[in-house]
Amino acid sequence: MNRLSKSKFQTGLQCEKALWLEVHEPDSADPIGESLRWIFDQGTEVGRIARRLFPRGVEVTEDYRHPDDALATTKRLLSEGTTVLYEPAFLFDGVLVRVDILVAVDDGQWDLYEVKSASSLQPQHITDVAVQTYVVEGAGLPIRRSHLVHLDTTYVYAGGDYDLSRLFAVEDVTEDARAFMSSVRSTLEKFRSMLDGSEPQIRIGTQCSKPYDCEFAGRCHAFLPEKHPITDIPRLSEKSLHALLDIGVTCVLDVPDGFRLSGNQMEAVTVVKSGKPYVDVEGLASDLSRLAWPVYHLDFETVDPALPLWAGTRPYEAIPFQYSVHVHHEDGSHEHREYLHVDGADPRRPLAERMLRDLDTEGSVTHYTAYETRILNHLAAAIPDLAGRIAAVKARMVDLEAIVRADTKHPDASGRTSIKYVLPAWCPDMSYSGLDIHDGQTASVQYLKAVRGLVDPDEAKRTFSNLVEYCGMDTFAMVRLLDTLRAVT
């Protein structure tokens, strides 16, 4: 019989095919990227800090490669009367679980605590707690209450040691967990029967990304064409996706005329089929006429650590550590200004002060999506004496993404308006693929590693150089994009 774990149980609830692959073909999983590994590392760090809520506990240190040793250590600690355990191991009904925190209470009962680095309670957390409670009780320990511990994003860090009573929210989920527990045994039986058979034939759908991105997504999506797969159609529902697969359509070019899609989706399909960009010349000219020259293209890079690093910040608050500005003149010439905070201290004030100088006082400030506006709002709230000058910058701002979305469609972008797709579509000589850092998540992770001393000085220096190149690419992309749009009006 295949031994399951709580993580495999959760995988099976999301997609039985993913569970089958995890058990029988684990090597077919997508590689774990740096950003995802950092998320795991943050979760581990949050879990260790949460133990301070219940001090003087004993950790079961054997890792996942030594489950039987972990079970033996847990049994020994319980027999010795240990009242607080971290990562104890339990096996029941063929399922192995490691409980984050287990605390003895009255009358031989225990309270169970599952720690998540999430900012709120989610439905998948209930099933996670439920299967743990099921196994621990099955192994002989009665559970009085089951809890979910998560970060509280209303907590404002004051510096120094964390105020654990405010950093964490502890929610009693006993009732919901026990309601689900009644189905655990039958679910396990279903999973085992499935695992004894051949690979389940489950089509791609919402389960590929909800509640988590599936580690086998690449394998399961490999049948789609590399160019213009139907999954590129904006906001395509699972029902429509499956309807297209039912008639053998995997490429946007093959979507039949009359297939029911939204107006925006049909426009995207039509442009892809035509092979020619669509431009609302009159609308684009009108929108671009609002620009005041010179134009200042602005882009921020931010970090949003689970555990706040600087006084006055909250868990998962987006903190800007870098910006790039390209000053774009009406004749097409441009110059670059930049700032990257490298000393590990709170970057917000020095960044904001330098940014206000680099943006001058006249000319439009363009950005791509509303993210930069949100960051400016955060800066104004955090640094009240600069709020007036930041408000003046906001009054000059123009969102290029909104203009692209309203006035253009390019077949190579397949209806998507992210600059990572729009730029190579309109400017095919440009791409992020050759950069050492080519997405914002990687930028954040590598920056945090560098400023927290988690890499050697030479690697930190390379990271800072790569960050300057990446962030500069974002604003140079806006220069090229705007020049291209001006040329087609």
**What is the per-residue pLDDT across 276-305, written as a single tens digit (0 to 9) for each?**
999 999 999 999 999 999 999 999 999 999
Residue 164 banded pLDDT, cuts 50, 70, 90: very high
Does residue 251 carry a pLDDT above 80? Answer: yes
pLDDT at 3: 84
pTM over 0.75: yes
Which letter does DSSP use for residue 199 in this model? P
Does residue 262 carry a pLDDT above 70? Answer: yes
Q: Going edge to edge, which strands form the sheet with 295-303? A: 334-340, 319-328, 295-303, 365-367, 397-399
Q: Give the tens place of pLDDT for each residue, 54-100.
A: 999 999 999 989 999 999 999 999 999 999 999 999 999 999 999 99
Does residue 410 carry a pLDDT above 90? Answer: yes
Distance CA(264)–CA(260), nearest Å, equals 12
pLDDT at 1: 57
Residues in the chain: 489
Cα diameter, the chain: 81
Instruction: Tell me which H or E stretch contains 354.
Output: helix 348-358
Bond into 428 cis (ω within 30): no
Average pLDDT over residues 159-187: 97
pLDDT at 420: 83
pLDDT at 414: 83
Cα dihedral 235, 239, 245, 246 in deg (nearest 10) = -160
Q: Which two tokens stand for residue 30?
A: 């997508």
Contacts of residue 307, Cβ cutoff 8 Å, sequence gap at least 6: 42, 45, 46, 49, 151, 162, 167, 315
Q: Give the number of other Cβ atoms within 10 Å of residue 32's Cβ.
A: 11
pLDDT at 282: 96
Mean pLDDT over each residue of the chain, to the nearest integer: 96
Instruction: Tell me which H or E stretch contains 4.
Output: strand 4-5
Q: Give the tens place of pLDDT for each residue, 428-464.
A: 998 888 889 988 999 999 999 999 999 999 999 999 9
Residue 423 banded pLDDT, cuts 50, 70, 90: very high
Q: Return the percentage of the chain with pLDDT > 70, whole number.
A: 100
Amino acid in the structure at residue 267 = E
Distance CA(421)–CA(272), nearest Å, equals 14
